[in-house]
Amino acid sequence: KRPLLMIPGPVEFESDVLAAMATPAHSHVSAEFIEVFGQALEDLRTVFAAPDGTPFVIPGSGTCAMELAVANLVEPGDRAVLTETGYFSWRMRDLLERHGAVVDMVHAPAGSAPSVEAVEAALRKGAKLLAVTHVDTSTGVLAPLAEYAAAAHRHGALVLADGVCSVGGQELRMQDWGVDVVLTGSQKALAVPAGLALVMARPAALQAFHARRAPVGSYYADWGLWLPVMEAYLERKAAYFGTPAVNNVFALGTSLRQILAEGMEARWQRHARLSRAFKAGAAALGLEQIPAEAYQAVTLTTLYYPQGKDASGLKAVTEAGVTLAGGLYPDLKARYFRVGHMGTARIGDLLTTLAAIEAAYDLPRGAGVAAAQQAW
Ligand code: PMP
């Protein structure tokens, strides 16, 4: 039997979503596909909490979505403030610099995010853009995005958030918080197979794009080429620039219908509850988290190995039936592991995971499971 996949993406899929991947071949201009794609684009506005947003869905991974956001907002010489949270904030720096931005990274040690005051001090020097990794999957750090966004608007900067490890699982209210662009990939909290790059752009971001002096430095990621396509499908018409990932879009459509049937408020709350239960279970086993309490994400949990143990125990966890992920933050890499519980995770999956960790790492049997049940 295949082990339960509990890594921070890709996640386990609902069977209806997998079945949608097996939809017989459709033309990307067929009536059926036009309806599914158009509805999915509309539904994304609800998922991102951005009623005034323009959605982009193109074939690609999360990194492609990062480029689809950055390439259109940054021109050579633009100043960008970036909050350091770990591995994925460094990737954001690489992308910003690749597109010509002068990046002012506000540093923070592993397991935390920069203070709002430090970010505001950097913004005071003038910047076109504030870029934030909402949840950094390398450390499990949740950044205070709403507070950062408020600071950015006090200084006239656009706000761009990498929501790859948050959208659909971690509370994110784009319009209420004043976040201008959010990006994600399909394989995380949206619980769709990898292959779709998703970006939501609110009016100020589109305005900045239309006011560009320099052409977009990426052909594939140019909003100017994709915008007419997205607008057409929203109006239930076909248009072509690059072939959509047709079957991934069928799967996205199915998953979004399930997500909206639950509702975003209920989904955010359920994930927060699941996260609290898992973290309580880990604490009862004496496992310490990487982030301090103020920065703990809901979508995943990052834990130091028990005293004297290391990554070799993860193999026994897999043998017990659960696949987990190792560390990703350079200096700490060998000292911690990561558990993803976004998307389709249920309380039973978390209890199974805790039981597998107890068995593999020789921890008090049942202690984590009991504490998690209690918290749940
Ligand atoms: N940003 C974050 C926060 C991520 O977690 C990831 C993937 N783990 C990425 C960007 C890159 O996404 P992908 O691997 O799909 O290119």
Strand partners, 43: none
Give the residues of the chain that fall short of pLDDT 70. none
What is the pLDDT, as a whole number, of residue 33?
Answer: 98
Can you tell me the ipTM of this complex?
0.99
Three-state secondary structure call for residue 109 = coil
What is the pLDDT, as a whole number, of residue 181?
Answer: 99
Same domain membership, residue 273 and residue 256: no
Same domain membership, residue 221 and residue 366: no
The CATH number linked to 25 is: 3.40.640.10
Give me the domain span that covers residue 368.
4-8+264-375
Name which of 256, 252, 260, 244 is nearest 194 in CA terms. 252
State whether the beta carbon of 88 lies less than 6 angstroms from ligand 1: yes
What is the pLDDT, as a whole number, of residue 31?
Answer: 98
Same domain membership, residue 42 and residue 32: yes
Identity (one letter) of the amino acid at 190?
A: L
Same domain membership, residue 303 and residue 248: no
Same domain membership, residue 212 and residue 165: yes
What is the pLDDT, as a whole number, of residue 219?
Answer: 98
Question: Pick from 200, 231, 262: which residue ends a domain?
Answer: 262
Q: Which residues are annotated as a binding site for substrate?
A: 338
Three-state secondary structure call for residue 58 = strand
State whether the beta carbon of 63 lies less than 6 angstroms from ligand 1: yes
What is the pLDDT, as a whole number, of residue 126?
Answer: 97
What is the pLDDT, as a whole number, of residue 210?
Answer: 98
What Rg value do the Cα atoms of the chain yield, rounded?
21
Same domain membership, residue 287 and residue 200: no
138 CA: nearest ligand 1 atom:
5
What is the pLDDT, as a whole number, of residue 319?
Answer: 96
The structure's pTM equals 0.98
Q: Specify the pairing of strand 158-162 against strand 181-185.
A: parallel
Tens-place pLDDT, residues 208-241: 999 999 999 999 999 999 999 999 999 999 999 9
Structural domains in the chain (count) = 2
Tens-place pLDDT, residues 232-286: 999 999 999 999 999 999 999 999 999 999 999 999 999 999 999 999 999 999 9
The answer to whether 66 and 92 have CB atoms below 8 angstroms apart is: yes
CA of residue 164 to ligand 1 center, whole Å: 6
The CATH number linked to 369 is: 3.90.1150.10
**Tokens matching residue 218:** 């990426």
